[in-house]
Amino acid sequence: MSGKKLINSPEDLIATKDNMALDDEGMITYLHKRFILTPQDTFSDMMKAAADLGGINLAKVFMRRAGYEAAYKVAQAMIENLNITGEDLVRHYTRTGGKRGWAFDEAEIIDGKRGIFLCKAYYSPFVIRFLGKSPVCVCDFLAGAFEAMCHAAGFRNMRIIETKCMARGDEICVFENMKV
C-alpha cells in the first residue's frame, strides 16, 4: 500500500518490548495477557470470510462487536496494570496499538468531555482483501475497539465510526465520534 507512514521510533519499540514477556508456558504476554503473533492479512481474510458468509452488513456488525469486546478487556488490563484512566487511557492505547500492528497512529484528538475523537490508520489490516473495491468502510473491528477504549475511559457518549476507508479507495482510514 502506498503512502505508508513510519510509526515506530526506537523508543516506541523499547517501550513495547518492556511491557512484553514470556509466561511460564512460553507464551507471549503483553500487560499480563497472552497474545498471538499472526500475519496482518489474517484480519482482512476474517472480514472477507464473514462478508462472504453473511453479507457485508452482518460482517460489519460481527467485527465491530469483536473489536469492542477485545479492546474492553485490554482496557481493563491497562487500567489495572498501568493505572491510567480517562483520556490518558485512550491516548496510550492508540499510541501503543499502532506499534503492535494495528496500523493506527496516536489519536489526533481526544476530548471526552466534548465528545471529540479523531484517529487515522495508514495501512489497516482489514482493508487488504478489499483495497479500493468496497462500497462501504470495512475497519469495523477498529471502530469497535476505539469505542470500547472511550467507554472504558468513562466517555460513554462516544460512538466511533469510520468516516474514510482505504477499502473504498480513500487514501487513509479515519475514525471519528459520530455526531448525533
Instruction: Please list the ranges in the chain whose pLDDT falls under 50.
Output: 1-6
pLDDT at 180: 58
pLDDT at 1: 42
Residue 30 β-bridge partners:
20, 33
Distance spanning both ends of the chain, measured CA to CA? 33
pLDDT at 159: 97
CA distances to 27, 42, 65, 73 from 36, in Å: 8, 12, 20, 15
C-alpha gyration radius of the chain = 16
* CA–CA separation, 2 and 30 (whole Å): 30
Cell reading at 179:
455526531
pLDDT at 4: 46
Cell reading at 64:
465491530
**Bridge pairing between strands 109-111 and 116-121:** antiparallel
CA distances to 62, 93, 115, 121, 163 from 88, in Å: 28, 8, 15, 19, 24
Q: Kindly report the CATH class assigned to 41-177.
A: alpha beta
Cell reading at 2:
502506498
